[in-house]
Structure 1
Amino acid sequence: MHGSAEREGRVPGPPGTVLTGAVADALRAVTGLAGGVYLRSGTPGELRLSVLAGLPGQLFRPWWRLTVDRPFPAADAFRTRAPVVLADPAETMRRYPQLAAGLPFRFGSLYVPVLDGERTYGVLTVLRAGTSPLAEAMPARDRLGPIADALGAALGALEREGARVVWDGEPLCVRPPAAGRPPRGRAGRFTWDPAADELTVDATLRALAGPGARGGLRSARDLAEALAPDDGHLVLAALREAASGPVPPGLLRLRSAEGGRRLLELRPHGEYRGEPHEPAHGESRGKSRGNPHGSAHGESRGEPHVHAPPWEGPAGPGAPAGSLIHGLVVDPEPGPPADGAADLLPDGVFAFDRLGLLTYVNPRAARLLGRPRETLLGRQLWEAVPWLDRPVYEDHIRASLLSEEPVHFQVSRPRPDAPGPVARAEGGRAEGDWLTLSLYPGPDLVTCRIVPLGQVAETAEGAPADAPAPGTVPTVETTAGPSASGLPPAVVSTAPLYRPIVLAIALTEALTARQVSEVVMRELLPAFGGGRLAIYLLHEDRHLYLAWEHGFPSGFLRPFEGVALDARLPGVETLTSGRPLFFESMHKLAALYPGIPLDATEGARAFLPLIASGRPVGSCILGFDRERGFSDEERTVLTALAGLIAQALERARRYESEAALARGLQEALLPHRLSAHPRVETAGCYLPGTQGMDVGGDWYDVVDAGEGLALVIGDVQGHGVQAAATMGQLRSAVRAFALGDHPPGEVMSSTNRLLIDLDPGQFASCCYIRLDPLTGLARAGHPQPLLRHPDGRTDVLDLPGGVVLGVAPEAEYPVTELRLEPGAVLALYTDGLVERAGHDIDEGIGALRTALTLAGGRGASAQPPSLPGVAGLLTDRARRAADRPDDIALLLTRLRPYS
């Protein structure tokens, strides 16, 4: 299928109908503008957009992929298994500045994880109007929950049947559920069963076919003859192609018997979801081939609509029984009176749907756009009008699709003597070079008013939009330098810079050189259309060494490793001179540097110096697969971004140096050897957090105490060097009090007063246990220990305790006596092992209790597992977590039986 199934023997993945149906149900449930589903991909740690409803896929390509560790709401919902609610733009900016910088429009959004038991398949996403208060957003989240649960159950069932529930291709871009029935005679839908050659059509399509459809519409040939007698063979060929392959053939342009235009769009195997259609002869609305469960849409239970069986593999010569082809037939010619009236307007008016498809263009708009009307209808806007295919204009189109407010902007149109389409007025005179576009969003369509710049456009309230005074240069979003019209350089808007802004924000969160390089690859390359990246860093020996590469042929960069600063290479000279070097083609690069090794491509190259605070850091190489020029604006932006990258890399160097020092400090503070006792077996482990400095305040220890042992575990609030230093002081204090053979309560009270006297501005939890031979236990705000009995039962001990250390000078810490049975396992742990975002800590303690129960043998005859092995099992999930915000300490103790 689209995305995960291939022809060479791979197990098919989830059907498009399951996914698109869930998105349609979600949009209906919360009145969303657009929505989609992110699914796991075949690449570990990566999510891919499998369905996008209500937005043109091309305009949202940068968001097709997400890594689960990125600070984006969909990634957080996937990672934490908890919904994320962003009620308005202010909330989005506060919590996710990268998303707000990349999509700076007035919308809210909801993200609900798609789960089936312990499995997380993806995230259901809905974008809404940005004016909804939080009080309305939370009920909307609750309405999405059952839809996401039903989708998770459906995907889980598919996986148990052998399907591979991942997505590795481009997203399916589909229309959202219509706000109302489409106008009669304008758009009709049908379903075709290729195995039985049976056709089901709706009333609109019957009206389009007209009374000349002899014998009704029952088969594919009937449909072809009714819609386009002269092009019937094209219709049949398209239907066969849709039935035999996973890729839909797209739009097909046809001509009716009366000479009118027809557009045919096919979605194989139920990927298109339209409105309910009239059943064909002999087919009921209840159970059908595509829905054996009895509900036509599954909406009564909140389940995703499944209108085809879960078969998505390649069809051979004929599709398997039950695989349906859904189609849409559009008549774009003027039909309703409103369209005829709009044809007479002196202003240009056109409309496109939420996939960017032009559905109406009046004659005046066609003249201003410079294309015949028949070549515009049924095509995507940026394909029909190539000179609108620019990032600055795409940004305004995105704004019209993601907000409910009108969008006004100016565009520069090619001159009549420029290559490409030419716009001329009725008398043959060239129209003005500047046009004003006003986009008015609606639930299903965006309507655009287009007028020459000298003509004032009106806002939705009737007030004139801002227009430049006669003889002045309009403020337009265009590249710097002379325009195609010969006007002076235009004022540059910040709209083209939104991706570099995202890069700048992302760089502030990158801590290591590797993370900086990953951000540059993820954000900088797509922003400028690059495909290759190399980052070299200058080392103390004054040589450049490769720190990161992407996209270059294997081994190509090896000869450039460790080059000195006197080498005549562009990557060296850009650093020594401090000047960026731009080459529009490899021929120009080779001409300036004869004999330099070249890879197989003929594309452009950019060499950027990485200099931070006047100190050379390295050089960055951007590669493009095709020849291209670099505008003044692009050169300026790339040079500025090189400075940001250099600063981030320099900061990463300092961070890595400080982190290495901090890790060394913490490693020195943690015990390298635990005190031993003939009758006591112990095992401890420590896992640093994966955020910040990778150091924290968790510790454990086993200390000789008189004739017995003292078990200690503690957690200092916070992270970083200060927390580690406080931990070291507390550990030394507890050891000293334990070696003095003080009772547990006295040890805790003395440590508490010491922490208050040190006044580090921190507090700590602690659990102290004395084994001799009864177990005396004192607890200061620490999680309750777990006790696994020899028969396999595990209890959460309910023991009294005092407040955390460092808060109350006169605090008392009651002591509880407990007798350990031979073979029992006592587990002490810090909260990092049992806390998860969006979940109650009791859930984590319960999960740890279950894991401890399952970690060893049962009964006296069972072979007891080793304590290090048990510790490994209890921390396995935490070790594999890419995002571990807190450090973890674990101490296990087992009493040996008498020999």
Structure 2
Amino acid sequence: MKRVQHRDRHFLCGLRPGSAGPCPDPVLTRFARETDAYVSAVYLLSPDGQALQLAVLGGVSWRIASPWARVALAAATPVSDAVRERRLVWISSREELARRYPQLALVLPHPFTMAAAPITTGPTAWGGLVLHWPSTHPPTLSPHERDAIVGVCRRLGLILRQAAGSGRPVTAEPQPRILPALRTRTAGPAEAQAAVDFAERLPDGCCTLDPYGRITFITTAAADLLGVGLPNLLGARLWEALPWLDNPVAEDGYRAAALSRRPTSFTARRPPDHWLSFHLYPDASGISVRIVLSSSAQACAPPRLVHPAPAVEGGRASALYALMHLATTLTEAVGVRDVAGRVADQVLPAFGAQALALMAAEEGRLRIIGYRGYPAALMDRFDTAPLTSDTPAVHVLTTGIPSFFATFAELNRAYPPAVRQDGMAAWAFLPLITSGRPVGSLVLAYDRPHPFPQEERSVLTSTAGLIAQALDRARLYDAKHQLAHNLQAGLLPRTLPRIPGLDKQGEPFVGPAGRLLDEALTEAGIDRDTTYVTNAVKHFKFTRAEGGKRRIHKAPDLRELTACRPWLLAELHLVRPDVVVALGATAGKALLGRSFRVTKDRGTLIPLPDEDEGRNEDVERYVVATLHPSAVLRSDDREAAYAGLVSDLKVAARASRKPH
């Protein structure tokens, strides 16, 4: 990988008002006309060279592009890869996008093709260019298009170098510069008025949105259907002027039309009970919208429309939002078992499947590491299948290409030896690939024939990519955790001896907080000599007080909690406590996970998680969470805080089986 060089300079993120620097708008506009690219975006390196900032945007709403206003240079995105590796990245279909960039495809499951290219001058990388074409574009770029991309990136690089070299660099703004819409032709006043008259004579209603979602024209009939006056609609964005359109279904319909440049439609309910059907017809200059009264949410093709737009695929919006939740929850998963459980919880209801099997490649075999909806005996038969076997689960892993079978007949044609053993009627076999490496396979099964529409296939492929990344992290965590546990189990003493006359150094809770804890334990009826006190995190993280030497404690982050967790589990394994008291948020999160909250979970018996080595399978063990003694000392109402600490400790005392 080539090293990205950058200079000390300001970077473009829109032109700052009053800047006399050169403007890239004409270069981009001319390029878009020559190549028919309907979306163009310029990214520039941040001052520290670690991120790419969206600088210029054309052809699509800022509302759609805003999640990618800033992209880490190290991230797995087309533009990051293009700039980091100094190469052209071409995505020929949404299926390829789903395989290579699953997180991006998850939130952009619409049909389009795209390219990303670096903007450079000599050894200096300035940023990258992103371009979109309709899905009807040929599967490869033509020589003319490649030359045009190289040429426009060279010209943009020269503009930026000239601006920085002249002492008038193009500087950053919070939002990108928006390019004017591309139009096939313009109309004079008389023709424009004739167009208005024409639209007003049409039945029902119609309006026009510019590429950025603003209403630039609307008929009187459309305003009446929407229930809002013309002056309040013109110049406004639909979802701002009409709050009842700010919902996932309408958003998905608008995004589908804007990004795919294909006609689409959706229905929405105007309060209290008026259903309206919206038909969107996009091109480079914006979106024409027909608005028609509808009888219900399902009636997307009113009889008066000669050419109704196809409806947004049913259920896609809800599936996407469910999978966004999966993406979020997978970031919190720790360990393979945790990943498998979260995948089953989220994926089955999102896609309406009845069974799931998650498999990982290990030592030349495909091992089942999690399943839901299948009997254990069946999973045992398929477990540890060799990677040389002729099965769809192995095939998708070795080829990296997903397989979808709407019926058993389709599966049997592809794999004649196949015998239906699971009682299911349709299957999706998905490869789990991350960073170009196969790590496993995912099988979804349906109890009825399932057609697997193209958009659903793309979302499923993206989902598999997210799961692959989480599974790869989880396997690494498990391996490190097991290694650390084995080391600690071998190195830590089997008993905790008391040596008369020897003072312990570094013992926790020896200052004011320790004295307060001793008092609270005594008041709660707990013998201090029967307790084992330790720190969940084995180092002291601090900052210096300004102008002094005093060290101020700083809470550890998730990485530090995870790094110290094997030591804590080893201690639990050796001590085998009856009850564990978590003093404060850090201890609680170390034992119970990131979702733990002291204020919500304190003072109750919480089962010690299965994965913790301190648990004896024959005896249920518990955690009781409470305030950290130092929090009591800092409290404005110290008396009440102390009483709460004692009350929580009494809960632990009652649950303990040791005499107090």
Q: Which has the higher helix share?
A: 2
TM-score, normalising length: structure 1: 0.37
TM-score, normalising length: structure 2: 0.49
Which structure has the larger Rg over C-alpha atoms?
A: 1
